Amino acid sequence: MESAFAESRRFEIPGTADVVEGKGGLQKVCITSPGAVGEMYLHGAHVTSWKPAGAEEVFFLSSQSRWEHERAIRGGIPICFPWFGGKADDPNAPAHGFVRTKAWQLESIAQVEDGVIVSMFTESDEDTKRWWPADFRVVYRVTFASELRLELVVTNTGKMSLRFEEALHAYHRVGNVLKTRLGGLCTVHYIDKTDSNRKKTQHGEIAIVSETDRVYLDTSDAIEMEDPALRRRTHVAKENSRTTVVWNPWVQKAHSLTDFADDEWMQMICIETSNVSDFAVELAPGQQHKMEALVRVADF
């Protein structure tokens, strides 16, 4: 533990990016910059907070989240890789892959204009090969500034080609999900995971009126979210991402989750920049793929 901390502290920029002990004794990087404040855990390379200057917290974090090595943090931005949801050929494999419960390592921390870039990485090892034979390196760069930039870079470091799914499973904090509307997916086809994976088409804006678990397919468009309760507009743009997942557990699923409070479904909605399902990524040996999301918020 001590050496891992010492190792991470080498990257600190005192007062701007401090490596400290967070919840459950897990290491986190605390960001304080002119453009934003934020937090990112090495456990899962998990962003748990981003507040652009002058704005309120953008991400939802459950009051019931677990802070343990084996468990994913409930809220913020978990990273799903190298599969999304259940693993098709192995029901015992962890949901959403294994990197969200892995101890990542710091690669660099740099100060830029009004913010800070934190870069973490993880690689294939004996543990990952229990579930997935591939050789890979994943680098995740997060720019905490007046905008939040997320860059997930996957490199195939092996000799065989690999195929993977990925998602930045962002939990956006909202004032009242019943009044929140999502635009940018009109006419897009989606898989409805609450209705036997039936394929449907989005008509107009998305309103949350029941459990919602949808994979929007073949879309590179930005999402515009309007939250009248917080008087906030959130814009999520993306690159090299062909799917967008939208999720709200609603009442029953919320109740079934042990690390989520019963009424918290009202305060969050997940907008997930991703490449899943038929849009999984194929990478030849030595090749690299970068998926990017850019989040902006504005009051209205």
Q: Is 85 in the site for ligand TA6 (CB under 6 A)?
A: yes
Shortest gap between Cβ of 169 and ligand TA6 (angstroms)? 6
Q: Residue 51 has which token pair? A: 């507040």
Q: Residue 190 has which token pair? A: 């989606």
Please confirm, yes or no, whether 107 is among the known catalytic residues: no
In angstroms, the CA 98 to CA 72 distance is 9
**For residues 52 and 36, is the Cβ–Cβ distance under 8 A?**
yes
Shortest gap between Cβ of 242 and ligand TA6 (angstroms)? 16
> Which residue in 20, 95, 178, 298 binds ligand TA6 (CB under 6 A)?
95
Q: Count CB atoms within 10 A of the CB of residue 196.
A: 7
- Sketch the per residue contact string, 203 through 232, with ligand TA6: x for CB under 6 A, - otherwise: ----------x-------------------
Shortest gap between Cβ of 112 and ligand TA6 (angstroms)? 31
**For residues 33 and 51, is the Cβ–Cβ distance under 8 A?**
no
| Bridge partners, 268 (sequence order) | 173
Shortest gap between Cβ of 118 and ligand TA6 (angstroms)? 23
Please confirm, yes or no, whether 272 is among the known catalytic residues: yes
Q: Residue 227 has which token pair? A: 């939250």
Q: Count CB atoms within 10 A of the CB of residue 160.
A: 10
Q: Is 270 in the site for ligand TA6 (CB under 6 A)?
A: yes
| Placement of tokens 């090299």 in the chain | 240
Residues annotated as part of the active site: 169, 272
Residue ranges binding ligand TA6 (CB under 6 A)? 72, 85, 95-96, 169, 193, 213, 245, 247, 270, 272
